[in-house]
Structure 1
Amino acid sequence: MTTLAPEQQAAVQRRTVVVLSAGQVLGGIAFGATVSLGALLAADLSGDDGLSGLATASVTLGPALCSIPLARLAARVGRRRALTLGNIFALVGIMIVVLAVSLRIFPLLLLGTLTIGAGNAGNLQSRFAATDLAAPEHRGRDLSIVVWSTTIGGVAGPLLLAPGELVGHAIGMPPQTGSYAFSFVAQCLALVLYLVALRPDPLLTAQQLARAAAAVTGIVREDRPVVARYAIFAVAGSHVVMASVMAMTPVHLSHMAHEMHGVQTTPADVSALVGVTIALHVGGMYALSPVFGILADRLGRLRVVLLGQVLLGGALTFAVFANGQAWGVIVALILLGLGWSAATVAGAALLTESSAPELRTRRQGRSDSLMSLCAAGGAVLAGVILSNFQYAGLGIAASVIVVAIVALSPLGRVRAQ
């Protein structure tokens, strides 16, 4: 296929967005279950609560290691095969986790969560797949719809923990692994969905259309490497700010509850406060992503990236000056989620449109890999900063990244040479 009428391309793009969104819902179930259960299983198998964070670190490390290879594979053979390989990674990871719990082998559990994380690299790639055939004026919107659909799987995964235990017990699975039965079925359905319905392949079709257009007009798609590098930095930086502050918020809320004088607080009260705060934060991350996608299309990608920095700056202001009150921390986390959503949606669209087709998938893979690596490192450093300079110090440290993204924003306007 080398030519498509505009209405045909629009129809293919609409179907592609629907398929990718459904795949995100199914693929997110396994990731949501792993995030919820990983720390519990790690603490149980290792016998040390201090090692429970290694499961979360493994899930984060998976996309960091596999995003670039998966993007290169997509550039050669298309999105469909790359996304299905991500599903296969997740399926293998689920089996390894269940085997590790059955055999009580802690390192094997970490290998399983790492492999599930590698599968999540495919979920990250889905948002870029939504832009392959998108019209420039709708690129941000289509990308943000796929991002928004992640919420459903991410929420459904934890909600399936209780019924999963009943199913797992009935079929003889080890304790606390029953929800992975649902995850396994969901990944299988996502794999079949991509193989059957993601046709024609959006990336291969976009590459063919670009070559055909260049052959007819003699015009090669311009490339803006400086803008692309800025977009990668803005996305990674915004992700670090969000991940580092969010990771330490439960710890801060727990300390804050214990330090309250004259108020009786129970572990259940602390858990409820943490749960509400994180739930509102996740809602801020995803609920309005289509709004930010539409704004990025209408106002420009860079303006919405900067809007994200304003929201992140507001979040950090509350984290610094109102961190002693529960409402202040809640407002900070809501703004943190909104700022992340605006910056990452618009930043991903900016990266896509500033990269020539032959370089696009490679840079997208680098962006996902750098984002995951920085988040893992940021979470570790955030713990050190919190223990030495408290929550306010963490807010001040994170604001340095926000200032850097704003200060370097002129690079997001550089035109191609």
Structure 2
Amino acid sequence: MTGTVSTPDLSDAPEQPRVLRVLAVAQILSGAGLAAGITVGALLARDMLGSTSLAGLPAMLFTVGSAGAAIGIGRLSQRLGRRVGLAAGYLTGAIGSAGVVLAAVNDNVPLLFTALVIYGAGTAANLQARYAGADLAAPHRRGRAVAIVLVATTVGAVAGPNLAGAMGRVAHTWGIPTLAGPFVLAGAAYAVGAAVLWTLLRPDPLVLARAREHDASARSPEPAPTPAAARTASKGIATGALVMIVAQMVMIAVMTMTPVHMQGHGHDVGAVGFVIGVHVAAMYLPSPLSGWLVDRWGAGTVAVLSAITFVAAGAVGAWSPPASVPLLVLSLALLGLGWSFGLVSGTAMVTSAAPLSQRARIQGNVDFLIALAGATGGVLSGVVVAGTSFATLALGGGVVALLLVPVLAVTRADHPRQHRPGTISAS
């Protein structure tokens, strides 16, 4: 057994700080676009359709749109780089936002449905930006790199819901229905985010990462992966995808029906916006903690922590008096934290397991499945609440998340521990 010093790939690429800064600016903007629409989407659908049981349709539709866009953004990024793929996703989201506003003005339900599907592309781009943050990161720092991109979303994501009331009043003065106001903000935010990425995301992190790998391979060719290594990689991708799928489905289901639940018990749009704002902050603000835990403890451990947090969120939500805003805030904050643990740990698993030559395509396919899970959660949430209660939905989400624990125990799919710069590894 001989000792070898850690290799150069254990340090971030020199371009990584600039890439993270540009992504952070774009995420702040896209966070406002994403959260503003989420806050009032269910309420707008309920008013236009006249049915609470169909209030989950917006979440279902824009997550279906997000699913399709995830594949498109992934493949576009694979061919042309992250800059082109992400900018195209944000621009498409801006077009969808404009379509929602037009549908509300004309009380056109078919147009509303179509526009919500297109609007979902912004959600897909917002999520896939986390992968761009990890492209140039050292292996043992990927969790924190993902976290930096996600936490930048917090600023816009918290501002978006809390601007819902103000944007509604502004929209009313323009002759636009009040509930369509936040989609005006969403359209502007997505459009500016697309411009920022298109103009400033240079060098492209994925293109540069490939060039660095090619240069490293030319200097020191590596043997082809063995069948056992390929199976291990596939297991890592599948487990990471499952963690994110469950996290997205549970989060979307409970979050979608919270505004309807609150308004049904006399809370105004301002209170709804506050609760959703705290929830979205809890999704993104703890990302540095999630990333640090993943890099320190391993992604599998943090995925189990995600399931436990979802159970706590469901219990608080189910047993909270509907009139208690503080307890609803606590429940939705735990819901967001569980999602953060799940997303960051699952992303680390997939990124570590996916070969760079296919990484963007695989990540797009994974996000497609995540979006479909969110769509399922969104559409079922209205049916569950209409047929039973919000408490049943909240508890059911916790039970579904808890099923991850035995799966993770069986697969033992943990984020591989990485050697840190300056350490000695045995070979």
Aligned residues: 398
Q: 1:182 to 1:334 in 2, by over 3 A?
A: closer
Deviations 1:39-78 (A, max 9, x none): 4444454565655443333222211121112101111111
5+ residue gaps, structure 1: 258-266
Q: Is the aligned partner of 1:129 residue 2:128?
A: no
Aligned to 1:264: none
- Equivalent pair of 1:244/1:378 in contact (CA under 8 Å): yes
Q: By how many angstroms is 1:6 displaced?
A: 7.3
Match in the other structure for 1:282: 280
Code of the residue aligned with 2:116 in structure 1: it is T
1:262 aligns with none
Counterpart among 83, 86, 91 of residue 86 in structure 2: 83
Change (3 A) 1:6 1:95: same
Q: Distance in 2 between matches of 1:395 and 1:285?
A: 17
Higher relative contact order (Cα pairs below 8 Å, separated by 6+ residues):
2
CA distance in 2, matches of 1:308, 1:386: 24
What letter is aligned with 1:291? L
CA distance in structure 2 between the aligned counterparts of 1:75 and 1:362, rounded to whole angstroms? 6
- 1:205 and 1:215 mapped to 2: Cα distance? 15
Match of 2:141?
138
Assess, with a 3 A threshold, how the Cα gap between structure 1 residues 311 and 181 changes in structure 2: closer, same or farther.
closer
Moved more, 65-74 or 85-94: 85-94
Q: Could you tell me which residue of structure 2 aligns to residue 238 of structure 1?
A: 247
Q: Deviations for 1:352-395, whole angstroms, at most 9, x for unmatched residues?
A: 01111123222211222212211221233344444555455445
Query: Given residue 239 of structure 1, which amino acid in structure 2 is its aligned partner?
Result: Q
Q: 1:77 to 1:292 in 2, by over 3 A?
A: same
Letter matched to residue 285 of structure 1? M
Q: Does 1:152 align with 2:155?
A: yes
Question: What CA deviation, in whole Å up to 9, does each residue of 1:241-280 have, x standing for no partner?
Answer: 222233344555677x6xxxxxxxxx24x76765554444
Note closer, same or farther for the CA distance 1:182–1:384 as it changes in structure 2 (3 Å cut).
Answer: closer
Q: Give the letter aligned to residue 240 of structure 1.
A: M
Quick one: structure 1 residues 53 and 238, their matched pair in 2 at CA, closer, same or farther if it must change by over 3 Å? closer
Once the two structures are TM-superposed, the CA of residue 102 in structure 1 deviates from its matched residue by 3.9
User: Cα distance 1:152–1:135, how it changes in 2: closer, same or farther (>3 A)?
Assistant: same
State the one-letter code of the partner of 2:349: L
Q: Distance in 1 between matches of 2:10 and 2:243?
A: 34
Q: Deviations over 1:120-140 (max 9, x none)?
A: 211111011101111112111
Q: Is the 8 A contact 2:162 2:277 kept in 1?
A: no
* Distance (Å, rounded) in 2 between the aligned partners of 1:211 and 1:401: 42
CA–CA distance in structure 1, aligned partners of residues 200 and 38 of structure 2: 29
Among all aligned residue pairs of Structure 1 and Structure 2, give the percentage whose two residues are the same amino acid: 34
User: Contact between 2:53 and 2:382, CA under 8 Å: does it hold in 1?
Assistant: no
Of the structure 1 ranges 115-124 and 39-48, higher mean CA displacement relative to structure 2 is found in 39-48
Rounded to whole Å, the distance in 2 between the matches of 1:386 and 1:184 is 30
Structure 1, residues 267-307: CA drift from partner, whole Å, max 9, x if none?
Answer: 24x76765554444333222211111112112222221122
What one-letter code is carried by the residue in structure 1 that aligns with 2:15?
Answer: V
1:379 aligns with 2:378: yes
What does residue 174 of structure 1 align with? 176
Q: TM-score, normalised by structure 2?
A: 0.81
Contact 1:34 1:113 (C-alpha < 8 Å) held by counterparts: no
Amino acid at match of 2:240: A
SS in 2 for 1:174: coil
2:60 to 57, 60, 72: 57
Alpha-carbon distance in 1 for matches of 2:86, 2:18: 16
Aligned counterpart, 2:313: 315
Q: Shift of the alpha carbon at 1:109?
A: 2.0
Distance 1:160 1:333, change over 3 A: closer
Return the offset for 1:98.
3.4
1:191 to 183, 189, 194: 194
**Matching residue's letter, 1:338:** L
Q: Is 1:38–1:113's contact at 8 Å kept on the other side of the alignment?
A: no
Q: Does 1:362 align with 2:365?
A: no
Which amino acid counterpart does residue 155 of structure 2 have in structure 1? Answer: I
Say yes or no: does 1:345 pair with 2:358.
no
CA distance in structure 2 between the aligned counterparts of 1:226 and 1:291, rounded to whole angstroms = 26
**Cα distance in 2 between the residues matched to 1:40 and 1:335:** 23
Farther-moved stretch of structure 1 (393-402 vs 350-359): 393-402
Structure-1 separation of matches of 2:332 and 2:171: 35
Aligned position for 2:396? 397
2:21 corresponds to: 18
Return the letter of the residue paired with 1:347: G
CA deviations 1:193-229 (Å, max 9, x no partner) are 1122101110111112222222322216765111110
Once superposed, what is the RMSD of the aligned Cα atoms? Answer: 3.2
Q: Which amino acid letter does the alignment assign opposite residue 60 of structure 1?
A: T
